[in-house]
Amino acid sequence: MKNLKLRPWRVLATVALFPFGLATSAVAATPTDTKLIPRNAIFGNPERAGGQISPDGKYVSFLAPRDGVLNVWVVERGKPLTDARRSPTRRSGRSASTTGWRTARTSSSRRTREATRTSSFTPSTSKRARKRTLTDFKGVRVLVYGRSLKRPDELVIGINERDKAFHDPYLLNARTGALKKLFDNTEKYANFLVDDDLNVRFVTRPTPDGGFQVFRYDNGKTTVFETVAFEDSQTTGPGAFTKDGKTLYWSESRGRNTAALLAIDLASGEKKLVAEDPRADVDGGFKDPQTGVMQAYGVNYLKNEWRALSPAAKEDIDFLNANLKGQWTVQSQTRTNKIWLIGNDPITSPARAMIYDREGKSLKELYVVRPALIGAPLPAVCPVEIKSRDGLTLIGYLTLPVGSDAKGDCKPTSRFRWS
């Protein structure tokens, strides 16, 4: 049985916990003096979010509000974001949900409402970038299954126009707009795994017990690859291929207390253990953009910890750990892997995006997600281990009132009383 884990929730101000107007006082700290944070500063649209760097490193894209709706914006890297007063999209109603770079100079985004659209945007020196809607179906949801720098103009997408319950895979040419159906999904597959050549290599299908089966797919012929029962369905399954298509990364929790990361040789079937941790599941990681080989993996026990799988990645992890407070993740990489866009949550200050130069070992702030929270009383989150009566370890998170933890050791410096 796995360790039970309670996800952290920030207690933003002690006064907010007491709806009946009860005040608290203390000898060394007075939380009632802490100003409440405006609700919109937390739950409203971020000023900027979802940063991505183009494969050639020349551009940065991000989501930002336009007339109260999140749109995709593009700017040359190194220029002030306030100078990038052009939005390739002009959305109203529901905000854009995701954005990503298709080629070195083309970004795409998706949103969901009555119709789901995939749009292509080309940065230029003109005042406003060009936009072209590539898919526009009423009452249809479009999914992206695969993209590749080897075939930069194309994507494999899913469209549920024929059958609302299941998606048919299509090959979309984002340059010409050509859309080619690969096959009718009459076998009711739930997902399609695509390699770097944009070939469908594996498909998955739910089983009656709540689990799923994974099939090899070869020109319409399928063979069972793995069967995963319900109890492991959330922590076991296929990941991504290496760029040469020879190796499949796989998360495995069957017969284990925690999920491990395996690398499966698709020619021989040999399974190689890449990473494991007895305390928590292996969760996420980042790869070399050119080879697809995993460079590091994450383990989230008390907090997320990055573990290197190569000497170069260890240098990066050590540098970022030493120079960034809180937690961080790699949101985007250039094709050469020399520049990373880092998402950083310092916990006691608002989240931000950073540009990391791997060769120069330098960090530069790109934007703060919610500038209205700068200087706001965001308390530290203290991870704790609690032993249960049956001998298991419960993971929890303690948030103390601002001003009560002067030593920063997650222990109140004084006792509070009600008044």
pLDDT of 330: 97
Q: Do residues 380 and 398 make contact, with C-beta atoms less than 8 angstroms apart?
A: no
Task: Report pTM.
Answer: 0.83
| Strands, sheet with 352-357, edge to edge from the N-terminal-most edge strand | 327-333, 339-345, 352-357, 362-368
State CA 281 to chain mean position distance: 17
Is 12 among the domain residues?
yes
Give dist(CA 244, CA 267) in Å, integer: 12
Asked if residue 395 and residue 356 are part of one domain, the reply reads: no
End-to-end alpha carbon distance in the chain: 44
DSSP 195-264: -TT--EEEEEEE-TTS-EEEEEEETTEEEEEEEE-GGGTTT-EEEEE-TTSSEEEEEE-TTSSS-EEEEE
Among 193, 213, 234, the domain boundary falls at 234
Domain boundary among 234, 268, 299: 234
Domain contains 313: no
75 part of a folded domain: yes
What span, in angstroms and rounded, lies between the C-alpha atoms of 68 and 63?
A: 12
Q: Do 59 and 75 meet the contact criterion of CB atoms below 8 Å apart?
A: yes
**What total number of domains does the chain contain?**
3
Pairing of strands 98-103, 106-111: antiparallel
pLDDT at residue 35, rounded to an integer: 81
- 126 and 59 together in one domain: yes
Whether residues 94 and 169 share a domain: the answer is: no
Q: Do 202 and 153 share a structural domain? A: yes
- Domain of 187 in residue numbering reads as 140-234
Dihedral (CA of 12, 17, 19, 24) sign: negative
pLDDT value at residue 326: 94
Domain end marker among 215, 234, 253: 234
What does the pLDDT profile of the chain (419 residues) look like in tens digits?
444 444 443 333 333 333 333 333 333 445 556 788 999 999 999 999 999 999 999 999 999 988 888 888 888 999 988 765 555 555 555 555 556 675 544 555 554 444 455 655 555 544 455 667 788 788 899 999 999 989 989 999 999 999 999 999 999 998 889 999 999 999 999 999 999 999 999 999 999 999 999 999 999 999 999 999 999 999 999 999 999 999 999 999 999 999 999 999 999 999 999 999 999 999 999 999 999 999 999 999 999 999 999 999 999 999 999 999 999 999 999 999 999 999 999 999 999 999 999 999 999 999 999 999 999 999 889 999 999 999 999 999 999 888 787 777 887 776 555 44
In a domain, 251, yes or no: no
Residues 54 and 88 in one domain: yes
In a domain, 276, yes or no: no
Q: pLDDT value at position 47?
A: 95
Asked if 121 and 99 sit in the same domain, the reply is yes
Quick check: is 249 in a domain?
Answer: no
* 226-267 pLDDT tens trace: 999 999 999 999 999 999 999 999 999 999 999 999 999 999
Same domain membership, residue 79 and residue 118: yes
Phi, psi of 2 (to 5 degrees): -85, 155
Q: Do the domain assignments include residue 285?
A: no
* 174 in a structural domain: yes
- Residues 115 and 166 occupy one common structural domain: no
- Placement of tokens 């797919």 in the chain: 217
- Are residues 221 and 166 part of one domain? yes
